[in-house]
A and B are shown apart, each in its own frame.
Chain A
């Protein structure tokens, strides 16, 4: 499968601040996905990011809160803005691999704690 890395692996942030999470893939992929996994919960899709177009957000998630960039076919960022303790979660990026297949593979995740 593709090698996916995320930075940072974890962070502790103060409420009201913002954090940008990076996702890097070692191969070009068409779509990248951002998920959230709240403590003890399953994964929820935040948005789908295609290179060269605006991200598509799922119900309950908005661009002002979770702006996403997709500058090229191997990289994406997710920003968690104006954070509150309810944003404490694991944030994961994923990609289809090989590109065009239905199988999704996940990065190692970013564990975010908001105080």
Chain B
């Protein structure tokens, strides 16, 4: 079982729709959860972090965390073509140095 699992996609949504990206993780001791956006040829950009169960909203982005189900998701409201990118879920391991373990990413395509 992979430590952090994501559907590779592509997830295709029309402009203006809600995009829902999902991630599951295996380490029950994980404490910190992150979503990164990566455009082709660019480095990952941190867009959301979440540390406690529930929802966290930032602009058009909402991160949701359910530690009991070992599940974290990212909702993008009013999706724009500029949101087309690969979204990486990352989880800190339950070891020293706050090591980040990444999922393989979900490719999102937003069509005009």
Contacts and interface: CB of A to CB of B under 8 A. Distances in A.
Interface of A: 1, 31, 33, 41-45, 48, 56, 58, 90, 92, 96, 102-109
Interface of B: 31-32, 34, 42-46, 49, 51, 88, 90, 92, 97-105
Given A48-B99, A104-B34, A108-B42, 8 more contacts: A31-B97, A42-B105, A102-B49, A102-B92, A104-B98, A104-B100, A106-B43, A106-B44
A92 B32 contact: no
A58 B46 CA distance: 23
Secondary structure at chain A's binding surface: helix, strand, loop or mixed?
Answer: strand
Nearest to B51: A102
Given A42-B102, A92-B43, A108-B43, A103 B97 contact: no
Contacts, number: 49
A42 B99 contact: no
A104 B88 contact: no
B46 A104 contact: yes
Given A103-B34, A105-B46, A96 B98 contact: yes
B97 A109 contact: no
- Highest count of chain A CB atoms <10 Å: which of B43, B44, B45, B105: B43
